[in-house]
Structure 1
């Protein structure tokens, strides 16, 4: 994922354009000097070359499918390929940015990233984009990031360049993911998700002790202890199945990405500063995931030691 800089004076809006050449020329109308116009023409020429090369070396969809399956059969990718978050009383799961990036690399001829359009001391205007160069399909989103970090003790301005960059990158990842999902064909995404699930299930019915230890360490960062996990699972952690581990990985990845809070997933957990534990809808979420885990564990356990 790239983070580029530029200048623009338009107000932040959400853009969905299928023609990147046209979008660039429209943006260029705001240029104030000849140098900017020259830079615009240079970029337009580069885009034309990219399109010509992409058309010359078109992707083979059958080879793409084979490569996607091969990538998703790698445990290192499969373990980071999915995430989950609570929404409307249910847990919604989907492909992570890592999985979507892997699919984009397998397809080729896709450019994506984050562009910094305008910056002040207090806020930054950003654009996330994904462009299928071969099919000339582009999706982008613009939004404003306030350079302020909120804490329980109050808010403070971000002046350090590294802190500002990390905030922009973190907030941009979900938007880049959404843009990529808009240009990648849904059958390819579905193939990747099913392959990932199979890969995780084929790792064995019971998770090894060292894997359990790494999972405990990952959740400990958020103050989630063994007791919380075992209450969520309904049994001791040493009986953890591959399906249950997959659900927990998705939850942990969601917490890492700032999607949801521990109390929204784990009964009895109270976030610091929260007056009440989780609401009743989260209990229904947990019951649903437990049923899915039990069903998946039963299917994975057939024929395994």
Structure 2
């Protein structure tokens, strides 16, 4: 399996945002040493539980501390930016770290209405995302009415399967990144492969599956380690924001008094994750790759304990075959 990491700079209760960002950089250095294929960062604005809002800036720091691993955005949300600026940032990173940069793009708006208003885009609008994507591609490929600097080879572009991203990826002949319930949608995944329109002779459908992964000595302990992230997801539906990760023991107490609908949301999120012993995780990931036809696993690891994250990283590194 080809395995990469997605780090969202998740904060923990009582931890500063600065500490979370610093930990992301140090984790990238460790991932480089362990031999991972890619290390991607994400974009989230004004979210209490996520410390990084500017993946390109964070990647500049990561690139300076690493030597081999590919670095990328998972992803930059096009509705929040002008296409020219996205292309400029990607090409500047490519100039700094040639042959190591990936540009992952998505079509999500800000998480809450105040964030959307602050970013200047409160709705996608018909054709807006597709038009922005086409503009970015034109700037990168040198087909636009102006030449973007620095003029260097364009990094590969990946589309996140959100906001019609899977269909757009097929139409534009781009690799796609899919996660969550979409991994069980055989029809949608098959449509991506069937409708893929190669823009180059050597292009073919390329699917990266994004999944939450935790490894522990027992299945029960691994599932416990998933609880804080699962709770944050379910809680976001009530409070309108992703909060910092809470200790497992606290989440257990909160679950004991939670409404059935919230417990169901926690359980539903956990069903989409991969958790267990090293042998169980290997089997689950191999099954996932076989079932979806994916070429790569993009793993998120959001356990509260940094040691648990490091342990999972080490196990995942031992599973990779590419």
- Taking structure 1 as the reference length, what is the TM-score of the superposition? 0.26
- Taking structure 2 as the reference length, what is the TM-score of the superposition? 0.25
Larger radius of gyration: 1
